[in-house]
Amino acid sequence: MMQYDFDRIVDREGTSAAKYDERVKNFGTDQVIPLWIADMDFPTAPPVVDALVKRAQEGIWGYTSRPDSYFQAVCGWQERRNGWKIDPACCSYALGVIPAIGSMIQYMTAPGDRILIQSPVYGDFFDIIHDNNRTIVENKMIANGDGTWSVDWADFEAKIKTVKMFLLCSPHNPLGIVWQREELEKMVSLAKANGVILISDEIHSDLIFNGKKHIPAASLSPEAAGYVITCISATKTFNMAGLQASTTVFPTVEMKAQFDRFWRNLEIHRNNAFSLIAVETAYREGEAWLEQLKVYLRDNFQFVHDYCAQQIPAVKAHIPDATYLMWLDCRELGMDQDALAKFMIEKAGLGLSNGKGFAPSLAGYMRLNAACPRSTLERAMKQLEAAVKAL
């Protein structure tokens, strides 16, 4: 079997990579190691690169149809990896998971409607609700003493009765939670009982660790399959978010038709010539690369966790069960959130995601993207150690 090199440094500066070329915009300086936005510093699976090179060399990239093989590849991957059998007739293309969710917020809800999220959660959930003039309702997760988090079920049960829509992040970003069957069943049951639209963002579902198993919410039961709307994508798994492609899986062809009509009214309905090839190739030929990637990421998590425990005990790095993102508990540094973010930039030279973006009321947390060569994490940890010891 071919062995892939995840230690190789790829110079992404000056390539319009948001992670690097937006550092001044986001941190006020480009003198930080960028460990923020959720893409990886690894080239994607070689079969995908080869397929895209071949397509590029054809030299004609005109209007591109979406063959049956596209959604067959998506559905085949889900059945093979997660045991979830999907009807391709219920699948729709979208430019990305967040654009898909944003569109459904627009045509399924009305201005002022209440939408439930479980914070701290992916910051775009806040933005997409706020920017569409809907009302954010937070079911705040409970921090346990061991670095794990759990649902405040009493609060969830009270709030699910008051909302129009529930956005489930599964697995959870930034907490790295892989929801258990009982938890998912309870969420789906409560949403259905209260007539709440349930959209499950499962973009990180291929990145699962520590013996855990992702369960697609729609696969729980026939009742769940007839109720849950699921958003999935190869772009997070195979590091090709810039190709903009996701799949939305609907319970019925009628719901799919409503979604397709929304996008057709915007004249957005054809495929990108390159994302078409990339997605199909990734799902058909990228599995070996993904399995090696997961081993490397797991070792990265362990490195950051151990380094903090041994050298920077005031910063606690919890090993996630999913995603390639680590939630750092920095409360023992004794700083408010603004001071902590400033410290990470100016003293540690790190471009991390500000915890405030995942929960405005939370203080003392940052998110670190561990999907990079080990040498990058080694530099980052040494810089953080020096900054903390200089306090």
Three-state SS string across 188-257, please?
HHHHHHCCCEEEEECCCCCCECCCCCCCCHHHCCHHHHCCCEEEECCCCCCCCHHHCCEEEECCCHHHHH
First CA to last CA distance, the chain: 48
Element (H, E) at 169: strand 165-169
* CA–CA separation, 42 and 35 (whole Å): 13
What type of residue is 135? T
pLDDT of residue 339: 98
Quote the tokens at residue 221.
């039961």
Contacting residues for 126 by C-beta, under 8 A, at least 6 apart? 117, 136, 357, 360
| Helical axes 253-264 vs 97-108, angle rounded to 10° | 100
Q: Do domains 18-45+288-389 and 62-285 have the same CATH topology?
A: no
CATH number of 18-45+288-389: 3.90.1150.10
Torsion angle, alpha carbons of 185, 190, 196, 201, to 10: -30
Query: With 0-12 CB in 10 A as exposed, 13-18 as middle and 19+ as buried, what is 359?
Result: buried
Nearest to 22 by CA among 285, 353, 386, 358: 353
pLDDT of residue 365: 98
Backbone angles phi and psi of 169, in degrees to 5: -105, 110
| Torsion-angle region of 62 (φ positive above 0: left; ψ -120 to 50: alpha; else: beta) | beta
Residue ranges of domains in the chain: 18-45+288-389, 62-285
Q: Does domain 62-285 have CATH number 3.40.50.150?
A: no
Report the b/e string of 233-256 with b at 16+ CB within 10 A. bbbbbbbbbebebbbbbbbeeebb
Strands 91-94 and 246-249 turn out to be antiparallel
Nearest to 251 by CA among 220, 231, 229: 229
Distances, alpha carbon 38 to alpha carbons 84, 204, 283, 319, in Å: 26, 10, 20, 16
pLDDT of residue 267: 86
pLDDT of residue 274: 96
Element (H, E) at 335: none
Composition of the chain by helix, strand, coil, percent to 5 = 45, 15, 40
- Structure pTM? 0.96
**Which DSSP category does 88 fall into?**
G
What is the full per-residue pLDDT of the chain (391 aa) written as tens digits?
Answer: 789 999 999 999 999 999 999 999 999 999 999 999 999 999 999 999 999 999 999 999 999 999 999 999 999 999 999 999 999 999 999 999 999 999 999 999 999 999 999 999 999 999 999 999 999 999 999 999 888 999 999 999 999 999 999 999 999 999 999 999 999 999 999 999 999 999 999 999 999 999 999 999 999 999 999 999 999 999 999 999 999 999 999 999 999 999 999 999 998 877 789 999 999 999 999 999 999 999 999 999 999 999 999 999 999 999 999 999 999 999 999 999 999 999 999 999 999 999 999 999 999 999 999 999 999 999 999 999 999 999 9
pLDDT of residue 229: 98
**Which DSSP category does 32 fall into?**
S
Q: Is 64 helix (H, G, I), strand (E, B) or coil?
A: strand
